[in-house]
Structure 1
Amino acid sequence: MKRKFIVLAAMSFTFAGFSQKSEIKAADKALRSGDEMAAKTALEGAASLINGADAKMQAQYFFLKGNAYAGLAKKGTEGAFDEAITAYRKVVEVEEKSGKSKYSADAKQKLAAMTADLVNAAVEDNNNKRFKEGAEKLYLSYTLSPQDTVYLYYAASSAVNGGHYEEALAYYNELKDLGYDGSGVVYKATNVATGEVEEMDRTQRELMVKSGAYKDPEDEKTPSKTTEIVKNIALIYTQLGQDEKALEAYVDARAKDPNDVNLILNEANLYYKLGDKDKFKVLMAEAAEVAPDNPDLFYNIGVINMEQGNIEEARDAYRRAIEINPGYVNAQLNLSTTYVNEGNGLIDEMNSLGNSKKDIARYDELKQQKDDLFRDGAIILEDAIKLNPDNQGILTQLKNIYYSLGDNDNFLRIKKMLKE
């Protein structure tokens, strides 16, 4: 009885091995005919027993699996790139342990070639606004070819474009830890036949210039990406609401580029959000010194001061923005609004007064102040419509001011301009 049991077990083992070989052979045949899905199905039938097979069969299995998923990846099957990469790496691992290398060279070559396939697929993903998928493929490209750190940089950019900030942050922090610079040289030359300036690699350009087909070789240096990376890290921490990490990142970012106005403004806004108004004002003043001719900067300074109730500081900032850009409509509207708001602020007191002689005198005094402020607001907008006569926002606000002043002639004039 014991002998029969041993024989049956041996026969069972033989059948299992035969089944694996049959399925692997079927997968190989399917791949030769271009049917990756059939190959995948055949290999799945052998998967449960492959760990018990010898190294030769394991290497063949994983190599065929890599080929099947690589083909499916090219056809757009989700997750196929990861499966292919894992399988090819398994080939190398199995053969290194066994001391044999029947498939390793081909597997490594396939992995190298897959980098280009991944990049092409990532470009297509990004063109179709599948930014997360594109970022993941670019990161895979980087893991396959770590010397090409630019793939990691583009993975971060793709993640940012899709609003996937946590993934982008991980990629940017990895770039920072690697000390990625990203600067380089672009080699250009002018095509004699077309007159167009074209980019090419250095060796190709030298050959083309020597042939006479191209002329005027030019080397163009591309700037370092270091500042951009640390700046984006700071901005993403802010976006994610991780304020303390954001402040630390701003210190790092500003050390790289102390004169980046947008960086100063973003740091200032973060301090404002955290309630540190003094630090906010210091940074805003610093930004104004760095970019004294930037109208948007002074407009933003005006907006923040207006929100804080610093009316005179807001007016000074709006005036400076208009001085730099005389047609700055939003600055003109906001500057006018500061006077209208100040005038409106007197109305509550006016309405609270009684009918005594003293109250009537006070009422007349406040009304005069209100009307003067409204007229100051109107003068600003009258100057504004000289450059923007069709701007509906300016005309509407001006019409409302004249209505409040009871200035019927000017009210009707502006109303007519609005209709026209």
Structure 2
Amino acid sequence: MLENGGRKDQDSFEDGLGAAMKQTGAEFSVAGRPLLDGGLARGRRRTVLRRSAAVTGSVAALAVIGLGGSFVTGGLGSSQNAGEVGGPSPALSPVARTLAALLPEGHLSEEPAGGGGDTEDRKRPRPEGLATVVYDDGHGKAALAVTLGRQNPGQVNEDELSCPDRNLNTFDACTATKLKDGSRLVLFKGWEYPDRREETKWWYADLLTPEGYRISVSEWNAPAQKGAPVSRSTPPLSLDRMKELVRAEEWRPIIASLPEPEKQAPEQPAPQGMSGAVIVDRLTAQLPDGLTVKASGKQETEYAYLVVDDGLGKSFVQINVQPNMSDVEGDLFGAGTEVLPDGTKVVTHEGPGEKGGDGVKTREVDTIRPDGLRVVISAFNAAKQNEAATREEPALTLAQLRKIATSKVWRK
């Protein structure tokens, strides 16, 4: 989401996770996709956040508390059942039992049905295609999550199975390939928090077969996705192992037993916003002289960014062009707001960046027209928000940002 002086809507990520857990199966969510760290600014309504954010988050929120028993796992590719250790334990779900048989030797504990919440939560049935577990191969406990589902292949957005934009996300490695059988596979090595404020690593494999079978596995180097100290240097499975795991034939009978996906009705047109490609072109055309564009990126609508250089180092510049934002005008344009002769409201912000990059500074101009069109633009003294500063000051001054934000080109 667009930085907006640290006022990002932090809840959209967790909301997406909850929805993913509830809709496993026919409405299978995008598993294991990092939240795109750019896009809509704070103030956009949640329904539009979900529409416009390029990705949801990881497979499931792993609040791994009160684990229900310990089990011995088998070797990857074996078909043996997981054996119980330490007396009677709750039966493994089909997904967890299959996972236990496919993992290298170790101990596996499955989260109780209903998750690690209160008593009422635990009474709720576990989604058929979901397993959240803690696995220990002798080198430290690690959280793993598996999500299985069925999708209509023709209705999957190509962007769902792609690598994130390196200018918006921090990660170690990512590949997105099409396999010989027509399956699409993404292998990702990154961090639970893009700004790396904690050392929790997040790796995942995400596979979609030609018949619409979706298998996604995420792993962390801690016994929980969030809120637990790291317990090992890396997650337990290499990406090669993860690739084998998601391609295992043992998943197919489970997925085949899940409800067939409903044929989706054509999506209703989203509220009309300016396309990302148009925003890139118009932003580029308004840059001050002396700036060279080194990189650019966009979402489908309403958001774009440029990486520019004036010879003193790279500077990240991002902009949102959002129609129909009058409902948040009172929240965003309060004391200190300037009102222009045409009724446009303007506020400016300047200070340290909020993404964790060492020495990062940001300048921002936020505007809203009388008809609700909001244009907010910010510049940083870094090539990426999550990394250290690459120059002393952002490449654009507040005056230059203001000129761009109030330009008439955004009305066309």
TM over 0.5: no
Bigger CA radius of gyration: 1
Q: Which one has a larger percent strand, Structure 1 or Structure 2?
A: 2
**Length-normalised TM-score, structure 2:** 0.21
Q: Which one has a larger percent helix, Structure 1 or Structure 2?
A: 1
**Length-normalised TM-score, structure 1:** 0.21
